[in-house]
Structure 1
Amino acid sequence: MDLESDRKVIADLYRRLRKEPELEPASLGAQAGLDPAQYEEARDLLVAIGLVANSPDSADQLTVTSTERALNDLATRAEQAASRWAHEAVWLRKAIRLLATELADQYQQQASLAPVEVIVGLDRISAILEDCTDLARDEILSMHPGPVVESRSKARLERNQRVVDRGVGMRTIHLASTARMPHGLALLEDMQAGGVRVRLAPTIPFRLIVIDDVMALTPTFDPEHSQPSALVTRGPVITRLLRRVFEHCWQSAVELGADTPPRREPAESPLSRQQSGILRLMNAGLKDEAIARELGVSIRTLRRLIYDLMEKLGADNRFQAGVRAGQLGWLN
């Protein structure tokens, strides 16, 4: 029997109990049109919600309770349950903090076990970056020598905000040219408004992310793979050295929005003649073998050059590299 669907039957039984509490259960059930099993189920529901109670004198007799008292008893039970839930929530919060601290300690310990690892593939690199930023305790440092990838801006801002909201400091250095592009300036200003310290520099040596002096990510080129790859460095020895590189660049960079404008980059393309040639040949639709023959280099060398070129342009693929180079006027 369901309390909602059979409430009329249960209410009728309750009214009969109030009117004739001395009647035997069989008589009460019969008057309400219930067989013995249905009567027992309805009676148990009335007991559960506090409208009747089993008589201490006889197992077959019931004591009727007023609706006011039943409501008060239900409210008291709800308050007691809420109090238990509140205590459990406090306990769970403490347990979660303990587990999070233990996990962070394990992360710190593991960071010194495997000093260097090459991660291949954009998805794996992104996953490593997500895990590391979620476990960061003190500060995350980053340098970005390429243009901003507009399609990734929203995800980057959301990830940064999660880090800053946990009280972890963030400092980043971008090319001064990034602030001269509308979408680049918008991203940098949003990052700064969210609590990230942003500086601009005319040149940046390489892409770098340093996390808590225990882990660093830098791009690398694996000739065995055409996909992007990153060198993950763990442990304080090498990571602190990379941090010193960041601090050197930070000191010579200019705060975003500072009165002193950043030094302007040369108007001409920063690409070498060889890199410009590769771009033009790729845009002409030539395959790698033909481009390599044209330049007089091996396929392996060409792919390394193309990867370096994509890194400089901040592009994920060759088509995107051509588009970016055209937007920047580097194909002229």
Structure 2
Amino acid sequence: MATIRDIAKKANVAVSTVSYVLNNRKKVKPETKERIMQVIEELNYQPRSVARSLKTKKTLTIGIMLPDICNLFFTETTRGIEDVANKYGYNVILCNTDKDSKKEKEYLNTLYSKDIDGIIFIGTCRNHHIIKNKQDTPIVFINSKVGDNICSVLVDDIKGGYTATKYLLERRKSEVTLLTGPLSRSSFFERMTGYLNALKSEGIEYNELLVHQCDVSFQGGYDIIRTIYDEGSGIKSIFAASDVIALGAVRALIEKGVRVPEDVSVVGYDDISIAGMFIPSLTTIHQPKYWMGEKAAELLIKRIEDRSLKSEHIVLEPKLIVREST
């Protein structure tokens, strides 16, 4: 098995220079770094992670906790995290919790047992007591804010919910049905707050019968629309607080013989990649998913490298993308 000394000898550099490159500790001339990296690849060098972690007190590993890998919002965000992590020499452990508190707890315990350097939550956390007891491990939340002392990357969901609802009210001049995920999650609660603010701005009284919570999935949106129509209710326009809910809703509407957008206009939230490919293509609130993942990873790695840094909260502006569904 190749050693650092073998690399240094073949690259004709000092052992310390190889160490600087491997640990990203000091700047090394680009041509020297490139030569060392080429030798590392030729010799198939595998660093002894245990020894390295004892020396640096880091495992160069971060965990990603997400509730549903099938949701393209999480997939696209994860890609941004992974690309930044790899750039800085960190490995990623992906934990798909299936929105299950017990499964999330098991994953957290596993990550902490491996002396993980940091964790990124995409969405919420169902085991706050565990991360509260591990405050020495840096954490960043995407799409959720859990406190001033934990970093977060967010979109202004109140404004996003307001923009979507206001657009539908101005276009249809009629009631707007809200399909939302669990309101216990801050992102969905804030999108509903925006919905309520838009109703108020138009002088429309809130009707709780127009608000429906469902599973955040294609099936969740599909099932809730089937239920609404089976109960004999009608719909004039829909603001779905997640694209996957919106796409399921559109499918159910079409199966019921309802034309989109002629009979019912639909606006989603997230702007996942398939939203523009769907027929009809989905009008939605855009979130820069990949960029959110990149920024979260950068925040986390900064705090892994320097634990004295204060927490940051990045809030991005939502953007309405108009397509065929309205």
Q: Which has the higher contact order (CA 8 A, sep 6+)?
A: 2
TM-score, L = length of structure 1: 0.24
More helix by share: 1
